[in-house]
Amino acid sequence: MGQVLELEIKYLFSRSKNPPEVAEDLLSRWNTGKLSSEQQIEVSLFLINSNLITQLLEQFSKLLVERQKIPWACFNEALSLSGTTLRRDDIDQILLGAAEENALGELVMSKALDSVDPRFAKIRKDIFPPVARSGKSSSSVLELKNKLFDFEKRNSLQENPREQERLKSHFLSLADENPENAYDISVSMHMMGFSQEALDVLKRAPMTESKHWLELELLMDTEKYLEVLSKCDWLENANAESVDAISTVLYTRARAYRGLGQNKVALETLQKLRKFNPEFALANTLQLEWRDD
């Protein structure tokens, strides 16, 4: 579960508005072994979103030289976005490196280099059964693309109300016609800044653990604080053994109390979070900020 780091990345970016500064912090953690494989993907996606492709490829190159594992789908995306001209020998080395880590399936989750070499699509076809490619179930490729909806595109969309309405209508119709894909559609709408509409679409999605967490985030984004508190209670009971999950619940609960104007309770909740998970650095930062208000 990468929720804790994802929350921290969002907070760090909202504070500094300086992606290279945030990236330096995150890469430092990566290089000192403080990130899980899932968290490495989150960091890679942040660098891609922030157009820090050169820094990310330098990180991947260093790790490959050290024979450490890398998030191969993100590597694929970064190479494509870099504009690097890839020869067949280069593709051979990429495929060989992924194969040595038993990571060919992860590599071809991204379709970014399909137009460069047909072997990527062939490997995807060989590895994944037809049902995984049919669009009838949640797609890892679509999820990756959703997370790659960058800040610049989102800001540009906010300045075009007509396009906003067109997209909202399109996605709502799509969700009505394909409720089995409603979760992915909701994620896409969320990435575009349509949080209320994303919440409406999410109601059509089959019940999964991911749906519950996305609902929590959307309720928070739409300032439905009482519903946030209710959802936090449910998630806390359902994930009692998960440190990451409980940390996320406590963090979100504190923000909801803050949104309701209950600053004292919000600070008490942050203090509880600090005791429960001392590694959750964001709690310390927020506690100092909120005390000063």
pLDDT for residue 147: 47
Side-chain half-sphere of 210: how many Cα atoms within 13 Å?
14
- Separation between Cα atoms, residue 48 and residue 53, nearest integer Å: 6
Closest CA relative to residue 218, chosen from 238, 239, 197: 197
pLDDT for residue 229: 96
pLDDT for residue 223: 94
> What is the set of domains in the chain, with CATH numbers?
3-137 (no CATH), 147-292 (1.25.40.10)
pLDDT for residue 135: 40
Please give the helix or strand (H or E) that residue 233 lies within, else none.
helix 225-238
pTM: 0.61
pLDDT for residue 60: 95
- Separation between Cα atoms, residue 117 and residue 36, nearest integer Å: 31
199 in Cβ contact with 218 (< 8 Å): yes
75 in Cβ contact with 45 (< 8 Å): no
Predicted confidence (pLDDT) per residue in 119-168, tens digit = 998 888 877 654 333 343 334 444 444 444 444 455 555 667 787 888 78
Q: Which residue positions in the chain have pLDDT lower than 50? A: 1, 130-152
pLDDT for residue 4: 65
- Separation between Cα atoms, residue 293 and residue 274, nearest integer Å: 20
